[in-house]
Structure formats: structure tokens, C-alpha cells
Structure 1
Amino acid sequence: MMTTNKLTKTFASGSLAIGVLAGAVLTATSANAASVMSTWGVWTSGTALQVGDKKVTFEQGSITGGFVADPLDDVELMEMGGHYYFIYDATTLGSPDPNFSSGSFTYTIQVINSNKSIVGVDLDSDVSSNYGTVTETFVEVPNVLVSTSGSADPLTGFHPIPPQTLLTVKNTLSNPGSPNEALFQLQNSFHQSVPEPGTILGLLAVGGLGLVSRFKKQK
């Protein structure tokens, strides 16, 4: 289950047919969320996703193991509550069928023009009831995250990592039950650091703004 700091998850339950009709979607829980959405075809052709200080770029030539996505599938980068979410959605109006394939694809998420860093990661997926696994690995850190039959990794919160300004992210789908099992969506979450209060107050003093800053702790 997802915490309130993540996207609310609607699980696909029962048979694959029921899951397809249900649409099994991830939805935002905050009206203040900012996002940019594109199609798989446009994104993999070289048009990056950028929201705030995060940029997500597909790694050309990274598809392996027979992974196939419809060009009209959706990809989205969303910022909510100071955290960022990459979402691959295989069930869209233009391409309603889920993803039955196995294999992998890779992208980078980069912090640009900012003093913040990525300090935590987690993984979630929406799949049919007897699906295999979605695995997330990184070039820069040794973490291996595994979503089994739609479980979240971790079940709550996120896995801390050393501060990073660039992560190379590989998603690997293993679907031994194809074509009777399928993936509807996968979500990679990235939790960022919050600047130290002393640093912010120092900048305010130099600028003579006299503002009072409030900081919320992130999970």
C-alpha cells in the first residue's frame, strides 16, 4: 500500500479482463501536483520530460529482452510534495491494452540548476493478479527494488540512498504468465533532500528580505 506522501494506488484485481476494464490507474492525491506527460513514442525518440529541477531522459538503445511498448502508451513525470514520480502507463485511450512483454528499458533522472539531491527511491506497479516481477536497479547505487505481483518496495516510505544528482534507472519486467498476465502501470519514485534551514536563512539575510521560512519534514 502507498503512504499519503505517494500516489494513491488502485490495484488491478481478479482476472486480466477485469483489470483491463477497470483501467487500474495511479492518481494524484494533491491539487498542487505539477506534471508533464508524453507518449512512449515521443519520449523514446529523444524528447525528455522535465518538471521543476528534474529531467528524465530515455537512454537510446537500452531496450533489452524483448520489451515492447505501444508508441501511444503514456509516460509522465510528476512532482508532488517536493518528490518526483516517473510513471509508465500501458493502458491509455489511444492504446488500451496492457503490456504483456518481458524485458527492460533504461532512463536517467537528473537534477538541473538546483542544490537539491535525490536521497531516496521506491518502486510500485499495477499488474494482473498473477503477474511476475518489476525490478528497478541503478548504475550509481547498489539498491535493487522488486515489485512482486504489484507489491510496493518498500511497503511504506522509501529506501534511503547517498545523495545523487544523477541516477541511471533500469526497469526490468519479468512476465512468465504472458499472454494471460500483464502490467498496467509502473511507478518509480524519487525523494529529494530539503536545503538546511541555516542555508536558507543565510540567503534571506543577504538579500535583506526578512522572510520567515517554514520547513516540512519529508518522509
Structure 2
Amino acid sequence: MMTTNKLTKTFASGSLAIGVLAGAVLTATSASAASVMSTWGQWTSGTALQVGDKKVTFVSENGFGANALDDVELMEMGGDYYFIYDATTLASPDANISSGSFTYTIEVTDPNKSIVGVDLDSTVSSNYGTVTETFGEIPGLSLVSTNGSQVPSSGFIPIVPQTLLTVTNTLSNPDASTQGLFQLQNSFHQTTVPEPGTILGLLAVGGLGMVSRFKKQK
């Protein structure tokens, strides 16, 4: 019998420090929230998820064991994006008990924005194995959620700015007879590349400040 180790899911907030313009950090924030949802069957048949400037497209799966009526969702909140797979829906209430994987791409369609941080979270039964997230464009980076842990425990893991990520989620469930996955969440933090005019303006303001301080010191 499965016992739920249900975690309280809190969307990460705050700014991730990424150096732009000689150490200045410019991030885009938004109070808006939007989402689009599809069934696993629709998504894997070619219906991409698209919200704002992010597009999530299914690539492949290898023994993942999802039900066609499971849900997938792309959500934007506060300028960050969340891909969610939900195995326990009204139409398909059973947990995913497989040990398999699936791969998708998340693409940034706005040339002024990039993904600069990632995280992983999962909701599983009480003695589950692991959910591992890897990225085709970032060899060596592996996020491992063990028995429902959030990785990292807060915020995001910084990455080199990317406009396309190939994401693979892999389930390792040693005891499929009693354990299962209820939900997994991949989160993506983004930054906005400043316009050339903004950069020049900041440089001008910085230059005026330096002149002002120099005059005071004389």
C-alpha cells in the first residue's frame, strides 16, 4: 500500500545573480501568472505547450509508463516557468510506478531572454527512489530528487544562459510494487538581456557618478 509523502510545493522566488554589464544584474519580474495544460497523450502526439516566450516540445520516452490521461502543464509565474507532470488526475488517479525516462525541449522564443537557473522537485510515496533531471546542453549537470527532495532546497541552480534546453527526467523506482511518483516539477529561472540603449544609459549614469565623486574629492 502506498503512503503519500506529500510535500508543500512553494514556487521559488527572488533573483538569481548573473553578471551582466560588469557585474550589474538586471532581471525581469512580473506579477502575472499564466498556464496551459494538456494530457500526456496529446502532448506526446505533437501538441506543444506554449506560454509567454517559452515553448515545451516532447522529444521521446523510454519506458516512462505514463497514462495517456496524465496531465502535463507549463506555467509562468513571476517571470519564471514551471513544467509539471501530474500522474494523479481525476481521469487517471494512479501513481506512476515505472522506472523510465522522457525527454523534451524548452525553447526561449524571445531573443532578449535566456534561461539562467534550474531546479527539480517531486512528490512521491514515502520510500521512493530518485527522480533525476539532466540537460543535453550542459554535460555533467545532474539534479537528483531523492524521496521527494527539492533540488536545490531553495532558489535555483545557476547555469550559463541558454535559449534552448533538452531536458531528460529519469525515474528510478526500486520497489514498483509499493512505491510511485505522483508529480514532478522542472523549474526555469530567466533573465532579460538589456537593450543597447539601456546599456548605454547605465554607462552614462555611471560615468556621471564617477565625475561627481571626483569633483567632490578635489
Query: Same-fold call, TM > 0.5?
Result: yes
Partner of 2:55: 55
Q: Cα distance, 1:26 vs. partner?
A: 5.0
Secondary structure (helix, strand or coil) at the match of 2:4 reads helix
Question: How big is each residue's C-alpha offset from its partner over 1:9-33, in whole Å with a ceiling of 9 and x where there is no partner?
Answer: xxxxxx62x439x8x7858799832
Question: How big is each residue's C-alpha offset from its partner over 1:164-211, in whole Å with a ceiling of 9 and x where there is no partner?
Answer: 0000000000000112000000000010013338755879xxxxxxxx
Partner of 2:131: 134
Cα RMSD between the aligned structures?
2.5
State the TM-score, normalizing by the size of structure 1: 0.77
Question: How big is each residue's C-alpha offset from its partner over 1:130-174, in whole Å with a ceiling of 9 and x where there is no partner?
Answer: 000000001101210000000011111111110100000000000
Partner of 1:86: 83
- Describe how 1:38-53 pairs up with structure 2 within 5 A: 38-53=38-53
State the TM-score, normalizing by the size of structure 2: 0.77
Partner of 1:148: 146
- Compared CA separation, residues 25 and 35, structure 1 to 2 (3 A): farther
1:116 equivalenced with 2:104 (yes/no): no
- Which stretches of structure 1, 4 residues or longer, exceed 3 Å deviation after superposition? 24-32, 195-203
Q: Report the identity percentage.
A: 69
- Compared CA separation, residues 190 and 125, structure 1 to 2 (3 A): same
Larger radius of gyration: 2
**Any stretches of 5+ residues in structure 2 without a counterpart?**
13-29, 202-218
Q: Please give the alpha-carbon distance, in whole angstroms, between the structure 2 residues aligned to 1:117 and 1:174.
A: 31
Q: Please give the alpha-carbon distance, in whole angstroms, between the structure 1 residues aligned to 2:92 and 2:158.
A: 35
Retained in 2: the 8 A contact 1:25–1:126?
Answer: no
Matched to 2:192, the amino acid is V
How many residue pairs match? The answer is 183
Q: Please give the alpha-carbon distance, in whole angstroms, between the structure 1 residues aligned to 2:174 and 2:88.
A: 20
Matched to 1:178, the amino acid is A
